[in-house]
Amino acid sequence: MNLTATSLLRESRKMEPEGGATEISTMNICKICQKEFSSEKNFKLHMRIHTGERPYKCALCEKAFTRIDGLSKHKRIHKGEKPFQCEVCQKTFTQKDSLQRHMLIHTGERPFQCDICENTFMTNSCLTKHKRSHTGEKSYSCDLCDKKFSQNSALNRHKRLHTGEKPYQCDLCEKAFADSSNLKIHKRYHTGDRPFSCLLCQKSYYTSSELTQHLRSAKHRKKFESSTSEDLVDCGEANIKHEIKEEAIMPEDFLSIKMEADNDEETIKQEVHENE
pLDDT digits over 223-271, tens only?
777 765 444 434 433 332 322 233 333 333 333 333 333 333 444 344 3
183 occurs within a structural domain: no
In percent, the amount of the chain with pLDDT more than 90 equals: 15
- pLDDT beyond 60 at 215: yes
Mean pLDDT calculated for residue range 180-193: 91
255 occurs within a structural domain: yes
pLDDT of 25: 44
252 occurs within a structural domain: yes
123 occurs within a structural domain: no
How does residue 212 score in pLDDT terms, banded at 50, 70 and 90? confident
Q: Which residues are 197's β-sheet partners? A: 204
Asked if 178 and 168 touch (Cβ cutoff 8 Å), the reply is yes
pLDDT of 142: 92
pLDDT of 27: 63
Asked if 81 and 64 touch (Cβ cutoff 8 Å), the reply is no
β-pairing, 36-37 vs 56-57, is unpaired
Asked if 138 and 150 touch (Cβ cutoff 8 Å), the reply is yes
Mean pLDDT calculated for residue range 133-162: 88
Exposed e or buried b per residue across 50-85, where buried means at least 16 C-beta atoms within 10 angstroms of its C-beta: ebebeebebeebebebbeeebbebbeebeeeeeebe
Q: Which helix (H) or strand (E) holds 264?
A: none
Give how many domains the chain has, as a whole number: 2
Asked if 109 and 100 touch (Cβ cutoff 8 Å), the reply is no
- How far is it, in rounded angstroms, from Cα 37 to Cα 257? 38
In terms of residue numbers, what domain contains 213? Answer: 191-275
Mean pLDDT calculated for residue range 31-59: 85
* First-to-last C-alpha distance (Å) of the chain: 55
Asked if 147 and 140 touch (Cβ cutoff 8 Å), the reply is no
271 occurs within a structural domain: yes
- pLDDT beyond 80 at 87: yes
How does residue 120 score in pLDDT terms, banded at 50, 70 and 90? very high
Asked if 198 and 216 touch (Cβ cutoff 8 Å), the reply is no
Mean pLDDT calculated for residue range 16-27: 44
Average pLDDT, the chain: 74
pLDDT of 242: 29
- How far is it, in rounded angstroms, from Cα 107 to Cα 115? 23
- pLDDT beyond 70 at 21: no
Asked if 149 and 138 touch (Cβ cutoff 8 Å), the reply is yes
- How far is it, in rounded angstroms, from Cα 188 to Cα 205? 10
Amino acid letter, residue 4: T
- pLDDT beyond 50 at 24: no
- pLDDT beyond 70 at 41: yes
pLDDT of 164: 92
pLDDT of 228: 54
Mean pLDDT calculated for residue range 185-191: 93
99 occurs within a structural domain: no
